[in-house]
Every structure is written in structure tokens, then in C-alpha cells.
Amino acid sequence: MTVGWKLDAKCREELLAAYPPRYTCSVADHVTLSVFGKEAPQPVDAAFIIARVDDDLGVEAFIVSIAGSTARPDGGTWHITWSLADGRAARESNDVIASKPWAPMPAMALSLYPAHW
């Protein structure tokens, strides 16, 4: 089971309107904490989109800061997979984030709630 935080519906709609997905499959709905978690995480008070990354081959993601850090406990980076081209998978965001430069953005507050899926 995956655990993390889901974007609340209003926040997601506003972000999609402000930043239309570049690729055909819009994910844009969660920040992952763990793929093997058992319980939903604690609520977060301070979450912001701070940068964008795109491999120009079908993976677009936003870098997220939670409580002032982009670092996940597993060594990865907090992010939202924003959009994917056909044949691409959300897990590929991790490789793109690690290998491509991030384009800084004005910080945008996120409204997240704990979830598991």
C-alpha cells in the first residue's frame, strides 16, 4: 500500500488551471511518503510547490517542500508527478528529478491531507 498525502480537490483544480499539464496523462494528485507504508502519515502544515522538472520526453513533476525540506526520509525528493506521456510511469519522476535541473518557481501553498491507496 502507498501512503502519503493527497491534494484536496479545490487545490488540485486551481493548480491544474494555473499550470496546465504538458503531457496527455495528468496525475497531479498526491505526494508519496512510502510505497510500503501501513498507515496514513501525519497531517502537514507547510507544503509548497517550489520548482518544476521536465525531461522533455514525457515526465513532468513539481518539487515539493514539506516543513522546509525537499528531502524524503528514504533519500528521495518530495514531489508531485504532474503529467506523463503515453507509455511513461509516475515512478519515473524520481529518476528525472535526480538527473535533470529543477526550474525554480514562486512558492505555491498546497492543501494536502493524509491518505493511503
Q: Average pLDDT, stretch 80-94?
A: 97
**What's the pLDDT tens digit per position in 9-47?**
999 999 999 999 999 999 999 999 999 888 889 999 899
Provide the pLDDT for residue 40.
82
Q: Give the residue ranges of DSSP H helices in 1-117.
A: 9-18, 92-99
**What's the pLDDT tens digit per position in 34-84?**
998 888 899 998 999 999 999 999 999 999 999 999 999 999 999 999 999
At residue 85, does pLDDT exceed 90? Answer: yes
Torsion on CA atoms 71, 75, 77, 83, rounded to nearest 10? -160
Residue ranges of domains in the chain: 3-35+44-113
